[in-house]
Amino acid sequence: EPEVTQTPSHQVTQMGQEVILRCVPISNHLYFYWYRQILGQKVEFLVSFYNNEISEKSEIFDDQFSVERPDGSNFTLKIRSTKLEDSAMYFCASSEVTGPPLAKNIQYFGAGTRLSVL
């Protein structure tokens, strides 16, 4: 069964350093997403990406964050200068479409990257 894969599973970094989290979405999916989950809190939307452009972003996704599809298979989230409060699980997701029908709208999630900022 196709799945979203994320690397690394755990990333430890020093405050102020840049990190890149990597994702390989499901191959026939066109929409890609990043979410984060701070320990003990709800899963929160960061950004969606389609056709090499950001299609929607949340208020969390400020200038410290950027996303890129550097090639035909990878999708990355970059945090330029990490802060302690960036420590969280980061989930990548993908879907075929965002509009109807719902079955093609479903977002499938990877296992996540746990980011620890020291």
Partner 1 sequence: QKEVEQDPGPLSVPEGAIVSLNCTYSNSAFQYFMWYRQYSRKGPELLMYTYSSGNKEDGRFTAQVDKSSKYISLFIRDSQPSDSATYLCAMKETSGSRLTFGEGTQLTVNP
Using CB under 8 A as the binding rule, whether residue 34 contacts partner 1 is answered as no
Binding mask of the shown chain, residues 85 to 104, with x at each position contacting partner 1 by CB under 8 A:
----x-x------xxx-xx-
Q: What's the closest the beta carbon of residue 62 comes to partner 1, in angstroms? A: 16
Sequence-ordered strand ranges (E) for the chain: 5-7, 10-13, 19-24, 31-37, 44-50, 53-57, 65-68, 75-79, 88-95, 108-109, 113-117
Using CB under 8 A as the binding rule, whether residue 105 contacts partner 1 is answered as yes
The SS3 assignment for 55 reads: strand
**Residues of this chain that bind partner 1 (CB under 8 A):** 4, 6, 31, 33, 35, 41-45, 48, 50, 55-56, 58, 89, 91, 98-100, 102-103, 105-112, 114
